[in-house]
Amino acid sequence: MYRFLLPLYLLCLGPLLLPAQPLIGQWQSWLPTLPAIAVAQQGDKVYCATSSGLFSVTTGAEQDISRYSKVNGLYDIGIRAISSNENGVLIAYRNSNLDFLSGSNSYNLPELLRKQTTSDKTIFRIYPGGSNMYLCTGLGVVVVNTTAPEIAATYALGPVYGFTVLNNQYYAATATGVKTSPMTGTNPADYRNWSAVGQLADTVSNILSFGGQLICQQGTKLYILQNNAWEPYYSGVTNLAVQGDYLTISNPTSIVFIGKDGSVGTPVQDGLLKAIRQTTGDKQYTWVADSLSGLLQYDGQTFSTISLNGPASILTGQLLFTNNTLYAPAGGVSDSWAANNNTGVYYTYSNGDWQQYTDSLHHDIMVMAPDPAGNGLYAGSFGNGLIHIASDGTRTYELPNQKISGLTTDASGNLWIAVYGASYNLVCKKPDGTYLTFRSTYAQSGNAISQLIADDAGQIWIVSPQSNGIFIYNTVSNQWTQYRQGSAQGNLPSNDVNCMAKDKNGSIWVGTGTGIGVIACSTCDAVWPIIQQGNFAGYLFQDEEVTAIAVDGANRKWVGTHKGVWLVNEDGTGIVENFTTDNSPLPGNRIYSISINPNTGEVYFATDQGLMSYRGTATEGKTMSKDSVLVFPNPVTHDYGGNIAISGLADNSLVKITDVSGRVVYQTWSKGGLALWNGVDYTGHRPQTGVYLVFASSATTGEHLVTKIVFIN
C-alpha cells in the first residue's frame, strides 16, 4: 500500500491562497515538536522523529523544513525508531506498524502490526545494511527489503536489541549476550544456526562495527571484542553511533568522538545538550535528537537549534480563538483535578505563524479570555492565580496562589473567574478593577468549579466537577439554580459534567460523562437529543464521555469525546461528520478542546497526541458587501476538482451563480456565512471557460451581485 507523499506546506496551498488557508475539507497538523526521540540522515535531508510526528530539514544553508503526518502520507502516529539507507527512510511505530518513505512515495508495511503472536513485537532499533533494514524486535530480527519494499524474513531469536554486520557475519545483541550467524551458507531464520560470541551472558543493549572491530553496549559500559573475548572499552554511555571515521558516544548531556586509531576526544558539552536520545551525521555536521531541546546541529564549534513553526508540546488547556488569533495554553489538570505541573506556557497562532510565551513563575496556564476593556487578555494558572497580559506585553499578577479553572466575560464588561477549591469560588472583576466574590447556595463537594459561560440574560453558567452538575448564578436576582441528574433536578444525563457551549439560539449544550443534555432556559429541564441513524434511534452520545463542544457559524455542534470528534446538525438529530484516528488524519481520539475560526470555518482539535485542524463548511455570517465576499480558489483552473467556497455572506443567504447572460448554473443556501459549490452545473457538467456572476440575498437584504468567479479550462 502506498501514497503519494507531499510536504505538508504544499497541502496548504491552493490557487491564490495564503499558506495558512487550506481548502475546504483539508487538514493541517501542528503535532508537538518535542520530545525529539530519533534522528537519521538520508542524502541531503536529516529526519527527526518526535513523540507524535516527523520532520526533515535540508543540510544546506537554506535548511528547508518539511513536516510529515497522516495529513500528507504517513499511515500512523507514535514513532519509536527511524533509520535510512540509499532507498529511503524506514519509520517504526510503537504499535509495530511500518512506513517507508522513498522519494515522493510513502509505503505502508503493516504485516508485523497484523501478525498474530504472543511474542513481544516492540521495535527497539533499526540497523541499515545495504538495501535491507534489520528491525531489532521483541521476537527477533525482522528483515525489510527496501527495494520492494516488503518484509523479507524473520529470525526468531527472542528479544534482539541491536544488530550489525561484519566480515560476512550477522551479530545480534540479545537478552543472553551477543550471538552470530553466517550471512551465507546457513539459514539465519533457524535459531540453531546462531552461536554465542564472547563471555557476556546478560542483556546486551546495542552492538555495532567500527574500524573493522565489534563494539557492544551492556548497561552504560562499552566492550570491544578481542580474541573472542569482550574487553572493557569505555563507560558512562547511553547512546552510540558510527559517524564517518568516528565512533560517537554520548550520555544525556555530552558527546565524545573516538577515532579509528582509538584517540578519544574531549567531551563536548553545551547548554542545549540536556537529554540526548540519538546522534547521526557526516564529516560536516553532527545532528542530535535531544528530548528537551529538539533537533540540534553541531558544526564542530557551536550547537544550534532547528526551530519549527508550531507548538512544542501537547495542548491540554482550553483553546480560545479571538481577534483573529488562536490561543493555545499548554497547562492542565489530571482527571482527578490535580495540576499537571507544566511550565506556564501558551502559544498563539496568527497569519500562519506560531509564537510561544513562557511564564516560568506560573505553572499550568489552562484557560484564557479576552480583556473586556480591549487591552490584551487574561490567563488563568491552576495554582498561581490570574495573569493580565496587556497588548504591549506587560504582565500584571492577581489572585496569587489560586487555582484558576475558568474565565469568561459578560456584556457589562465584567470578567468572571472560577477559583477551584476556594470557599467563595466564583469571582467577578468589575470594569473599575474591584472584586466581588460569590458562593453557590447549594452543596458542592470540593468547592469544585471550572468552565464558565455568560448568557444573554445576565446569568453565569458554571460547570462543577466532582459530580456536582451545573450551577447557574443570576446576577440580576442574586439567585442560584442547580442542574443535576434526575427529572426533578434538571434532567442532566449525568452529574459528571465536563463542558458546555452556548449556541446561537441561546441554548446551553452540556457535555457529560454519559452524553449531552440541551437546556433551552434556566427554568427548563435538560432535553436529550434523539439521533436517527437508519431504522434505529437513540440519545445523542448516550454513554459516551463528552469532553468538548463548539458551535460553528451554521449553529451546528462539533463534539469531542474519548472516541474521536463528531459534527452534528443544529438540533443534534443528525450526524454530519465523524472523524477518528481510523478514518481521518486525526492524531488522537481523546479530544481535550475544540475552537473555531469564525471567519474561515477552520476547526481546531486539541487531542492527546497533538493539535490538528480541519477546514469546515460553515463560517459566521457578516454584514454582506462586495468587499466582504471572497471566493476561493479564484480563478478555478482546469485541474481543480474540489469545492469552491464563497465566504463573507450573511447568515443563511440564498446564493445564485449565473453566466454573463443571466442563466442560472447553480443555486444553494449558505451555512452561516459560507456557501459551497462543487464546480458543476445542474446538468452535472463543468462550466465553460469564462466569468460567472455570484448573486446573494438574505432575510434582510435583496438580491445583489456580490462577486465573480473565473473558470479556466
Q: Which one-letter amino acid corresponds to residue 426?
A: L
Please report, for the domain that includes residue 665, its CATH number.
Answer: 2.60.40.3110
- Output the domain CATH number for residue 193: 2.40.10
CATH assignment at residue 586: 2.130.10.10
E strand residue ranges, 86-122: 88-93, 98-102, 105-109
Q: Which of 57, 61, 58, 54 is nearest to 77 (CA)?
A: 54
Give the model's pLDDT for residue 270: 97
565 within a domain of the structure (yes/no): yes
Does 583 reside within a domain? Answer: yes
Q: Among all chains, which residue has been given the C-alpha cell 536520545?
A: 277
Q: Verify that 501 and 614 share a domain, yes or no.
A: yes
pLDDT value for 101: 97
**209 and 172 fall within a common domain:** yes
Domain co-membership, 650 together with 586:
no
How far, in Å, CA of 479 to CA of 115, rounded?
62
Q: Give the integer Cα–Cα distance in Å for 171 and 428.
A: 69
Are residues 622 and 2 in contact, defined by beta-carbon separation less than 8 angstroms?
no
Claim to verify: residue 614 and residue 541 sit in the same structural domain: yes
Cβ–Cβ under 8 Å, residues 249 and 256? yes
Residue 438 has which C-alpha cell? 460569590
At which of 235, 261, 290 does a domain end? 235
Please check whether residues 167 and 230 belong to one and the same domain: yes
Determine, yes or no, domain membership for 513.
yes
Same domain as 661, residue 563:
no
Question: Which residues in the chain land under pLDDT 50?
Answer: 6-20
Are residue 643 and residue 679 in the same domain, yes or no? yes
Strands, sheet with 675-677, edge to edge from the N-terminal-most edge strand: 630-632, 644-647, 675-677
Angstrom CA distances, 398 to 238, 319, 360, 402, 551, stand at 45, 22, 16, 9, 31
Among the listed residues 149, 81, 71, 158, the one whose alpha carbon sits nearest the alpha carbon of residue 119: 158
Q: DSSP assignment of 671-712, as one string?
A: BBTBEEE-S--TTS-PPPSEEEEEEEEETTEEEEEEEEEEE-
* Separation between Cα atoms, residue 426 and residue 348, nearest integer Å: 28
- What's at 329, amino acid-wise? P
Classify residue 217: in a domain, yes or no.
Answer: yes
Which run of H or E residues covers position 625?
none
| CB-CB contact of 39 with 574 (8 Å) | no
| Judgement on whether residues 599 and 666 belong to the same structural domain of the protein | no
**How many folded domains does the chain comprise?**
3
| 566 and 643 co-located in one domain | no
SS3 64: coil
Q: What is the largest CA-CA distance in the chain?
A: 94
What one-letter code names the amino acid at 125? R
CB 182 within 8 A of CB 169: yes
Contact 359, 395 (CB under 8 A): yes
Residue after which a domain boundary falls, among 235, 257, 289: 235
Is the residue at 699 inside a domain? Answer: yes
For residue 699, the model assigns a pLDDT of 72
* CA 344 from centroid of its chain's CA atoms: 19
Statement to judge: residues 603 and 651 lie in one domain: no
User: Distances in Å between the alpha carbon of 34 and those of 31, 57, 118, 294, 478?
Assistant: 9, 16, 33, 6, 48
The answer on 656 and 566 residing in a single domain is no
Distance CA 125, CA 136 (A): 5
Question: Domain end: 215, 235, 255, which one?
Answer: 235
Could you list the residue range(s) of the whole structural domain that residue 589 is in?
497-618
Residue 202 lies in a domain: yes
470 vs 460: CA distance, rounded Å: 10
Q: Are residues 574 and 650 in the same domain?
A: no
pLDDT of residue 321: 97
Domain annotation covers residue 227: yes
Domain assignment present for 707: yes
- How far apart are alpha carbons 387 and 414 in whole angstroms? 16
pLDDT tens digits, 552-597: 999 999 999 999 999 999 999 999 999 999 999 999 999 999 999 9
